[in-house]
Amino acid sequence: MDFTDAKMHGDPAEACTILCQKIEVKAAQLRKEQGLRTLTSRFSKWLIAKRVVFLKYWQLDLLGGMLLPFGVAALKIQAFYRGHMARKRYAVIKAKYEAMKAEVAQFLEKAGTRSDKLWSNLNAIINEEMKKGPVKLGLLPKPGSKPKAQPKPKILSEAKIIKQMKKAERDMSKVKKKIVKWWIKSEERKNCHQNDQGEFYPWFHGVIGRSQADDYLQDRPDGTFLIRISEHAEGYALDFKNDGQVRHFKMLFDHLGQYQVQDNDEAFASLLDLVEYFQKNPVTEDGDDILCDPVPFQHDLGLHFDPKDVKIAKFEAKSEKREKGKKRGGKHSKSVRHANDDELAGRSREPLSYELIFEKVDPMPDWWKGAIDRREAESQLTTRGLAHGRFLVREKKRSPSRLECALTVCFERAFYHHLLERKVQGSWKIDGHEIDFNDTLEEVIQNFQKKKSHFLAGKLETDGPDMATTTMKKKKGGGAAADGPARPEEGSSVDDVAAWLVSIGMTQHIGVFFKAKFDGKKLLQASEKQLRKLMKSEDDVIMMMRALAQARVVGSTQFSDEA
C-alpha cells in the first residue's frame, strides 16, 4: 500500500503505524465475534517504512470493508447534486416555455384582429366596384365608342422565312457536327462501339435525342436498354426501362478516361464491360434496375458510317414479353393463322391469296400499291410530298407458302426500304426480325402508325389524302369546293386547317392547333416563335415553315379549272 499521496498530518510512517494498530484492534474484535482462535499475523510487529507498507491479500478486504461507507456516502452526494442541477435547469427551460406560449397567444390574437380588418376592407372594395359597374372600371367600352384598332401582325416575306429556316438548320447542324467531330477524334479509335469482327453492338444507337430513346423504349419490357451519344454535349447516355418508366442516366469520364454512370462509382475501360457489369448488378444503389435486352438500332447512326456497311452483332432475346407476343393470337377470322390445312392444300399451286393476308380485299388499303419497283415507289412518294413518315407498301414476291413485300418510308427527305415477310403459318418479320403480330397486314401497319418502333426511324403517317390529289374547284358564285384538303387561305376554318395538317403528315399536331383555334388567317400570319411554342420538335417546325412558305407562294388564286 502506497501512502505517499495520503493527506495525513505529521510523519506518514507514524500515521501508518497508528492505522495498523487500529486495524489489529478491529481484527481482534472480529475474531472474537466470529469465534476464531487462530491468529495469522500481527500489525504491531511490522516495520513501517517511510513511504511503503506491504499487506497480505486478506488485509485488503478488511480495508475495503472499512471504506465501504465512504463509497455509499459519495453515491448519495452525487445523486443529490444531479437532482439539484436537473431541477435548476428545468426551471430555466420551463420559464422559456411559458414566455414562448405567451408570445404565440399574443400573435394569434393580433392575426385574428387583422384578418377581420382585411375581410371588412375586401367587402368594402367589392361593394364599391359593384356600384361603379364594368364600364367605369374599364372592363367594357363606353356605349357608342369605337373599339381601338388592333395592330396587324407582321407577315414575314418568303425570303425572310427561308432565311430563318436556313439559320435554324445551320445552328442545329453546327452542334451535331461538333459532337460527331469529337466522337471521331476521341472515341472511334477506342473501338468501343463494335466487336472484333467489326459488327456493331446492337445497343449502340449513335447520335440520337432523348425523345427518340423514349420512343424506342416506351413499349418495351423492363430491362430493355440502349446507349447513345448525346445531341447536346460531348458524352454518352444510358437509357433503360424500369418499373414501366424510361430512365435516362448521363455517362461520365473519370480522371483515367474510363466510363462511369452518373451517381455510380464503378469505372470501366470499355462500354462492353459497362454493359456486362450492369447486366448482373443494378445501376442504382439498392435498386432492381438490371439491364437485360438491348434495343437493336435500325436507323442511321448519325456518324460517318455508310448504312450498307453497318452489320449488327447477333444477340439472344431474354425478355418474356417477346415470348408472350409470339403466343398471342389475333381476332381476325381471315388471318393466315386461322386458315385450315385443307384450305391451304387446295391453294398449294397458286400464289398466297390476299384474303389470307388482308382484312378487307375490296377495296384494298390506300397504302397498298401492288407489284411496283423501288424507283416507282420513291417517285410516288415524291409526287405525294416528302412528309415525315409518309409511306407505301409494295409487293415483292408472293408464293403459295409466303408473302414478301417492301415497306417504303420517307423520313427527313430520305427513303428507307424495309422487308416485310410472312409464312403461311408464323409471325410477321421485318428485316429478318420477328414482330409480335401474326394476323393481318393492316394490324402491322396500324401498330407502326400508333407508336414508334425501334425497327423504323419514326412513326408512320396516319392514313390521309395525298397532296397530289388535292384540288380546288371554282363555284359559279366565285367560291371553291374542295375534293380534298386545300392549301390554307385567310378564309379557311379551323377544320380546314386540321384537314390540311393531315395532308402534309402533321396529324400529331392537330389537337394543339385546334386548341389554339388556328384558322387559315391565323396560320398564314403565324411567326416562327408561335410555331415553336406549339410544336416542340425542331424537325416538325422546319417542315411546317416550309409548307407555309409554299402555301404563301401559291396563294389562294391557284385553283384547278375543273368544273
Q: Examine the domain organization and report whether 355 and 305 are in the same domain.
A: no
Mean pLDDT of 374-391: 83
Angle between helices 158-182 and 538-554 (to 10 degrees): 160
Most confident of 190-194, 222-226, 501-505: 222-226
- From 450, 484, 501, the end of a domain falls on 450
Mean pLDDT of 178-197: 88
Q: Examine the domain organization and report whether 479 and 416 are in the same domain.
A: no
Helical segments of 183-286, H only: 210-217, 271-278
Q: Examine the domain organization and report whether 481 and 534 are in the same domain.
A: yes
Residue 432 pLDDT > 50, yes or no? yes
Residue 215 pLDDT > 80, yes or no? yes
DSSP label at 507?
Answer: G
The residue type found at 471 is T
Residue 163 pLDDT > 80, yes or no? no
d(CA 149, CA 128): 31
Specify the pLDDT at position 10: 63
d(CA 533, CA 537): 10
Q: What DSSP string describes 342-355?
A: HHHHHTTTSPPPGG
- From 419, 450, 481, the end of a domain falls on 450
Question: What's the grid cell of residue 124?
Answer: 368594402
Question: What's the grid cell of residue 240?
Answer: 433503360
Q: Examine the domain organization and report whether 360 and 424 are in the same domain.
A: yes
The answer to whether residue 543 sits within a structural domain is yes
Q: Examine the domain organization and report whether 215 and 292 are in the same domain.
A: yes
The answer to whether residue 27 sits within a structural domain is no
DSSP label at 310?
Answer: -
d(CA 111, CA 104): 10
Q: What are the beta bridge partners of residue 253?
A: 259
The answer to whether residue 268 sits within a structural domain is yes
Whichever domain contains 520, its CATH number is 1.10.150.50
d(CA 274, CA 260): 8
Angle between helices 57-136 and 12-34 (to 10 degrees): 100
Q: Examine the domain organization and report whether 315 and 349 are in the same domain.
A: no
Residue 26 pLDDT > 50, yes or no? yes
DSSP label at 556?
Answer: S
Mean pLDDT of 49-75: 76
Question: What's the grid cell of residue 452?
Answer: 414508334
Burial zone of 415 (CB within 10 Å; 0-12 exposed, 13-18 middle, 19+ buried): middle
- The distance from CA 409 to its chain's CA centroid, rounded to whole angstroms, is 28
Using DSSP's 3-state secondary structure scheme, residue 97 falls into: helix
Spatial strand order in the sheet of 391-398: 391-398, 402-411, 414-423, 429-430, 433-434
Structural domain including 289 reads: 187-320
Mean pLDDT of 179-206: 89
Q: Examine the domain organization and report whether 436 and 502 are in the same domain.
A: no
Q: Examine the domain organization and report whether 217 and 290 are in the same domain.
A: yes
The answer to whether residue 347 sits within a structural domain is yes
Q: Examine the domain organization and report whether 357 and 386 are in the same domain.
A: yes
The answer to whether residue 125 sits within a structural domain is no
Q: Examine the domain organization and report whether 385 and 427 are in the same domain.
A: yes
The answer to whether residue 221 sits within a structural domain is yes
Specify the pLDDT at position 457: 74
Residue 212 pLDDT > 90, yes or no? no
343-360 pLDDT, tens per residue? 444 445 677 788 888 888
Whichever domain contains 246, its CATH number is 3.30.505.10
94-126 pLDDT, tens per residue? 999 999 999 999 999 999 999 988 998 898 999
**Are 256 and 267 within 8 A, CB to CB?**
yes
Question: How many domains does the chain fold into?
Answer: 3
DSSP label at 248?
Answer: E
- From 420, 450, 480, the end of a domain falls on 450
The answer to whether residue 19 sits within a structural domain is no
- Mean pLDDT, the chain, rounded, equals 77
Mean pLDDT of 283-291: 85
pLDDT tier, 489 (very low <50, low <70, confident <90, very high otherwise) = confident
The residue type found at 311 is K
Q: Examine the domain organization and report whether 191 and 316 are in the same domain.
A: yes
Q: Examine the domain organization and report whether 415 and 508 are in the same domain.
A: no
Q: Which residue has the cell 465512504?
A: 70
d(CA 294, CA 227): 9
Specify the pLDDT at position 392: 92
Q: Which residue has the cell 437485360?
A: 292
The answer to whether residue 389 sits within a structural domain is yes
Question: What's the grid cell of residue 29?
Answer: 474484535
